[in-house]
Amino acid sequence: MEYSVSELVSEQPSQLLALVSESVKFGAAAMEAIARQPESAGDIRSNMIVIAALVEGVALFAVIVCVLSLFL
Q: How many domains does the chain have?
A: 1
Residue 13 has pLDDT above 60, yes or no: yes
Question: In this structure, is residue 3 part of a structural domain?
Answer: no
Task: Flag whether 29 is in a domain.
Answer: yes
Average per-residue pLDDT in the chain? 78
User: How many angstroms separate the CA atoms of 59 and 21, rounded?
Assistant: 12
Inside any domain, residue 6: no
pTM of the predicted structure, to 2 decimals: 0.58
Q: Residue 42: what pLDDT?
A: 92
Q: Judge whether 45 lies within some domain.
A: yes
DSSP-assigned letters across all residues of 2-47: ---HHHHHHHHHHHHHHHHHHHHHHHHHHHHHHHH-GGGHHHHHHH
Q: What angle do CA 25, 63, 47 make, to 5 degrees?
A: 35
Strands (E), 1-72: none
Range of the domain at 20: 12-71
**Is 54 domain-assigned?**
yes
* 43, part of any domain: yes
Q: Does 4 fall in a domain?
A: no
pLDDT at residue 17 in the model: 66
Task: Kindly report the three-state secondary structure assignment for every residue of 27-39.
Answer: HHHHHHHHHHCHH
